[in-house]
A and B are shown apart, each in its own frame.
Chain A
Amino acid sequence: MKETNLHELMGKLMGTEIKAELLRLFHMNPGILDTVEGIARRVGRMPKDVETEISTLVELGVLRKERFGSLDIVSLNTSKDREIMKKVAALIEGGVKG
């Protein structure tokens, strides 16, 4: 990720209500290892509504999507997520200092 702007980064991470729900779900339950359909059920949404948002979070590196057998399984990319959270914290700290 090249963004150094907090607003831009937060927009990418939590720009929509569903993305925010997904991030909250995976942060509170880091052991989720599920299909898009399963994840949609866990946030009380329809699969078509979460699919694009999951793809965005996969592109950002927060989530991981891997093919196992006939299923695409989504999980939290713990190391990348930690890295991004550190970046957010640093940007917030920088903003507060500035």
Chain B
Amino acid sequence: MRAPTGISELDAMLHGGLMRGDVTLVVGSAGTGKTTLALQYLVNGATKFNENGLYITFEQMPAQIYRDAASFGWDIRKLEAEGKLRVVCTSPPVLVQFVESRNPIDAIIAEINAKRIVIDSISHLESFIPAPELRGELYRLVNHLKMKELTSIFTAESHEVFGNHLVVTGVGLSFLVDCIILLRIVEIQSSLKKALTILKIRGSDHDKQLREFEITPQGIKIAAAFAQYEGVLTGTPRKSFTEETVSAWTKAFVGKP
């Protein structure tokens, strides 16, 4: 029923992992850790859960992915040699052909018996497919992956680093996918921190808290919720006035609790 990401705190937030066969959108601005999260999902799938995976990249070259993954201790080339993972570097027009009856990506899925797939990033399709056709093509792609029973992650770039106005994607992709994980950079006490939250999971409950996370030498590590702050999603949160704070304030300035 569930495909665990292998990031234990995230799996707890998801109540066990991603729903098997679903499409999850991981949205965030540059540098928030979308690619790291997606790669960690595939590496853990191949090494811990016996689920092979395919990583499709448009802009980032595989050589760079191998190098970046190595800094987390993930040997992608070894996993490729063992037939557990495959990195494919292609262009959006080729991905659109993916839904044709005979295509090279389906052949790779069959060859390695892939159960997981990452498309990094789906935002690149916007520059190659005319706007009126984009939603239809995305719908076709989502359904093609579902028919193949793949548990998928799409990454998407959010152009806004800070601010109140959050647009997940411009083409209504948030309605097509089953789960949305939002990554954001927030400023707390003059430091930039990373925040993660689950915006939706179709057909399942989930943790609704905003959690701080870090990119450690072992990959993504999720910490506690931003319990003492409000407005974290705006990027510039303020401290909440808890009962304890109010009581301390009253004691100090009014003289009575």
- Report Cα–Cα, A64/B104, bound state, in Å: 12
Range for the number of chain B residues in contact with chain A = 10 to 19
Residues on the B chain within 8 Å of A30, using CB:
62
Residues on the B chain within 8 Å of A41, using CB:
91
- A contacts with B: majority SS: mixed
The answer, yes or no, to whether B89 is at the interface (CB within 8 Å) is: yes
- B contacts with A: majority SS: mixed
Is B89 within 8 A of A32, CB to CB? yes
Residues on the B chain within 8 Å of A42, using CB:
61, 89
Residues on the A chain within 8 Å of B104, using CB:
33, 66, 68, 73, 75
Interface size on A, residues (CB 8 A): 19
- Report Cα–Cα, A59/B103, bound state, in Å: 22
Pick the interface stretch among B36-44, B93-101, B157-165: B93-101
The answer, yes or no, to whether B1 is at the interface (CB within 8 Å) is: no
Is A68 within 8 A of B103, CB to CB? yes
Is B90 within 8 A of A32, CB to CB? yes
The answer, yes or no, to whether B116 is at the interface (CB within 8 Å) is: no
Q: For chain B, residues 83 to 118, give those with C-beta under 8 angstroms from any C-beta of chain A.
A: 86-91, 93-94, 97, 100, 102-105
Evaluate whether A29 and B94 lie within 8 angstroms (CB atoms) in the complex, with A66-B104, A69-B100 already known: no
Partner of B91, one of A31, A35, A70, A75: A35
Question: Which 9 interchain pairs have the tightest Cβ spacing?
Answer: A38-B91, A69-B100, A29-B62, A28-B63, A69-B97, A31-B87, A31-B62, A32-B89, A31-B88
New contact pairs (12) apart from A31-B87, A34-B91, A35-B93, CB-CB < 8 Å = A28-B62, A31-B62, A31-B86, A31-B88, A31-B89, A32-B90, A35-B91, A38-B90, A38-B93, A42-B61, A68-B103, A71-B93
Chain A positions within 8 Å of B, measured between CB atoms, are 28-35, 37-38, 41-42, 66, 68-71, 73, 75
Chain B positions within 8 Å of A, measured between CB atoms, are 61-63, 80, 86-91, 93-94, 97, 100, 102-105
